[in-house]
Chain A
């Protein structure tokens, strides 16, 4: 040991103790994706072996020394058909298998918990429905499908969790979604994988997977007192939205109760479903989305409301039932253990199975 340079020795130790060849599988989809991945690795290795064996064995058998005169051969339709159909068949298997996984990754189940994620140069901001707010981190429980609704405030970003095998671009001006269900508690890498400018390589964070119990503790310790919908309600009031959208018979704006998910007829005659994208557009570009029967008098809120603000408003509108004045009950309060104040104060829950050093 003494005759090895200490720098090299340190490096070797670091390498041997800190060397990964394959990422951890920490979500439900990960083993499914890896199965396809290894199938492809297998097919590739067989394909490569066939090519290399052909080249090497022909090179030996028909080298000029052994085989001084070449035999001219035109070709073989049978062989052409073979190496067209077999690769094509294998590729089609990969296509179908891949598409099945793709549809699974981007089709969230109905019971998933929605977390909003806003990407901006150069940080990730996550908004939990209970009002918990994180930067460059995402705390989630195991065993619960989590849907992320992503949007970017500026340029393209991409939200990537290699241990979950999922990734989705956060795009300016439109919502994208992805979902996953974490299986193993631990801390995993969160990367921005779409090049986004100067500090792109610092737009990284941790995905902290907790047991449901630890997650409840975390929610309680991280709450700001207001849920996301309540934040939205405050914003709704401070922007005086209720001046028109007040559900009175003579209101100048349409009633927003139960509007989320409803089919609306626009003044252009077009019928649309009021989803997040539509609500966002109606706040930022209202004149493009006038509901039938109303005058185009709503001003644009572009530049006045941040993406987080829009998200809070949408979350509020989503939770609006028949009456505006009824205090919103939060669909996430059941995640909190008892009342807000009594939860253990800001104590970071112990995370098991740390993956990162």
Chain B
């Protein structure tokens, strides 16, 4: 094995996937559909969110194809409006919100804290069913004509002026919202009550801290979205004047309610991704995360401040200038914890012993793209420049840098990182490094031109546009094609690896987390004996001494 990798695999000629693990323990479809095992539910989620990701991705492909030319020629404007609405709804509510928490979080939180399962396994399964119910409703909505309000459901457009499936889409989001609430609730209870002996708060992996912060946002924010949707439904069906000014309602009220959830929602989406990055960077630089407490508290700070910045989506909507001052200031404050995280990750590399496996490459991609995404967020948080940049492609580029460049990179990083733990097998390293590179190039080509388009003033959600914007749109569409390849590759080689990947063994990355100190794939109970946490998180010296002790044990038995 070359010196520039940390992968330590068991001898492939003798290694076997352990016979008893959570996948083989029970067989048959029902054993999956009625399972209480957090790991199996995580896999159910992984399959379903991948499905929704590719639906959302196909819709994105249609958007980019339409925007190849200035005229609305591929589809009618109504169709285009439906396509971008469904792209937003599916990507946000059925991919990004559950992506890391419901898959990796579900799989790993109990293992990381040394527990057998989440505190409420049946609620966990219920979450998945609610998610699927919402998802199937969303697909049904699409099949039966779609919806064209934009994922923001702006009133009074959504309540009085469109005659598409607002109610079923609203119901889909409403139901999926409860899935998110239950997942958050489950995580909070689990992290409070189920930690192994010795697992103090400050010994928790930062992945757990990030999920704890995101869970608080899920539990407190999502109900407000549910209320907003119910009010939209009431106004649309029986005409109660809540948002309609002609009936004494206030159209801005909807904006307040909607963004009170939907701004924290971006932190629901990004915080778990940040948790992944902390784990990956520490493992591949063989070093404790620099400034552990600062990174942990910055997650909490993001969650707290994240609740008080919603009106920065409304700077040009005629709210009071002084309200704008307050929300702009708070928006600047919420940017600071993200900066703290980026610098701490960078300094984790300092005097480390760094290797560049695929998860690390995605993590580097995350750091660069998230920095751009975060900084451009400050352009929009500063009230003056927001006037020019908001509602243009600048904002589209900004949130795709955060959500796709940040969150999706983190998701892929995490999937590759824990793939050996989940499946017991390694993914093909060279091919996946290539895929990471393709994704990075495709991403930048897709979304960077959109910043320039936004500065030029190209409005978002336009099916047609003035011809001078075409060249940048052509770049963007070309990039999207490359990005599509970058996303297809992992699906193919990860499926391939299920059968042909190298046997990973317990701890191929020599990582310190408790999840790595048990077999891969784990047994249903996660650990044979309940682990006791007698060291700090990311303690590579402890791991070293464990390995030495194990070798000493093995030597006499071999002799």
Interchain CB contact under 8 A, A75 and B292: yes
A72: Cβ under 8 A from any B Cβ: yes
- A189: min CB distance to chain B, Å: 6
Residues on A with beta carbons closer than 8 Å to the beta carbon of B466: 189, 204, 356
A52 at the interface (CB under 8 A from B): yes
A4 contacts the other chain (Cβ, under 8 Å)?
no
Q: In the complex, A203→B244 CA distance in Å?
A: 22
- Which of the 9-residue segments A93-101, A238-246, A318-326 touches chain B? A93-101
Q: Which residues of chain B are near A83, meaning CB under 8 Å?
A: 339-340, 343
A200: which of B6, B81, B382, B470 is its contact (CB, 8 Å)?
Answer: B81
Q: Which residues of B contact A162 (CB under 8 A)?
A: 388, 392, 456-457
B294 sits at the interface (CB 8 A): yes
Q: Is B29 among interface residues, defined by CB-CB distance under 8 A?
A: no
- Distance in Å from the Cβ of B435 to the closest Cβ of chain A? 20
Determine if B434 is an interface residue (Cβ-Cβ < 8 Å): no
Complex alpha-carbon distance, A33 and B343, angstroms: 29
| Minimum distance in angstroms from B156 CB to a CB of chain A | 6
Task: Tell whether A173 pairs with B459 under 8 Å between CB atoms, given A37-B385, A40-B378, A58-B349.
Answer: no
Interface check A1, CB cutoff 8 A: no
Stretch with Cβ within 8 A of B (4 or more), from A84-92, A210-218, A291-299: A84-92
Q: Is A306 an interface residue (CB 8 A)?
A: no
* Surface stretch bound by B, among A164-172, A332-340, A342-350: A164-172
Q: Please report the C-alpha to C-alpha distance between residue A216 and residue B81 in the assembled complex, in whole angstroms.
A: 41
The answer to whether A84 and B77 have CB atoms under 8 Å apart is no
Check A40/B318 contact, CB under 8 A, given A54-B346, A92-B332, A197-B148: no
* B383:A102 contact, CB within 8 angstroms: yes
Cβ contact within 8 Å between A165 and B346: no
A36: interface (CB < 8 Å): yes
Residues of chain A within 8 A of B455, CB atoms compared: 22-23, 37
| Chain A residue nearest to B347 in the complex (CB) | A79
Report how far A189 CA is from B463 CA in the complex, Å: 16
If over half of B's interface residues share one DSSP class (helix, strand or loop), that class is named, otherwise mixed; here it is: helix
Q: B154 at interface (Cβ–Cβ under 8 A)? A: yes
Chain B residue numbers with a CB within 8 Å of A174 are 245, 318
Residues of A near B3 (CB, < 8 A) are 64-65, 68
Write the B454-469 contact mask toward A (1 if CB under 8 angstroms, else 0).
Answer: 0111011111111110
Q: Interface segment, B51-59, B133-141, B351-359?
A: B351-359
| B354 x A98 contact (CB < 8 A) | no
CB neighbours of B474 from chain A (8 A): 11
Contacts of B77 on A, CB cut-off 8 Å? 198-202
The smallest C-beta distance from A311 to any residue of chain B, in angstroms, reads 16
A107 to B384 CA separation, bound complex (whole angstroms): 13
Q: Which residues of B contact A100 (CB under 8 A)?
A: 384
Chain B residues with CB under 8 Å of A176's CB are 317-318
In the bound complex, residues from chain A placing their C-beta under 8 Å from that of B160 are 154-155
Query: In whole angstroms, how far apart are the Cα atoms of A54 and B351 in the complex?
Result: 12
Is the beta-carbon distance between B251 and A172 smaller than 8 angstroms?
A: yes
By the criterion CB–CB under 8 Å, are A167 and B324 in contact?
no
Judged by a CB distance under 8 angstroms, whether B78 is at the interface is yes
| A271 located at the interface, meaning its Cβ lies under 8 Å from any Cβ of chain B in the complex | no
Contact of A97 among B80, B251, B367, B384 (CB under 8 A): B384
The docked-state distance in angstroms from the alpha carbon of A201 to that of B63 is 14
A84 CB contacts on chain B under 8 angstroms? 336, 339-340
B360, closest chain A residue (CB): A59
Contact B156 A70 (CB under 8 A): no
Asked if A247 CB lies within 8 Å of chain B CBs, one says no
Give the Cβ gap from B445 to chain A, nearest Cβ, in Å: 16
Is B231 positioned at the interface, with any CB of A under 8 Å from its CB? no
Q: Are A70 and B291 in contact (CB under 8 A)?
A: no
Known: A58-B352, A80-B294, A91-B378. A198 touches B81 (CB 8 A): yes
| Pairs of residues from A and B, 5 with the lowest C-beta to C-beta distance, nearest first | A162-B457, A173-B245, A101-B384, A98-B382, A193-B391
Interface residues of A (CB under 8 A from B): 11, 14-15, 18-23, 33, 36-37, 40, 43-44, 47-48, 51-52, 54-55, 58-59, 62-65, 67-76, 79-80, 83-84, 87-88, 91-92, 94-95, 97-103, 105-107, 121, 154-156, 158, 160, 162-163, 165-169, 171-174, 176, 189, 191-202, 204, 285, 302, 356-357
Q: List 5 A-B contacts (CB under 8 A).
A: A36-B385, A37-B388, A73-B350, A94-B378, A162-B392
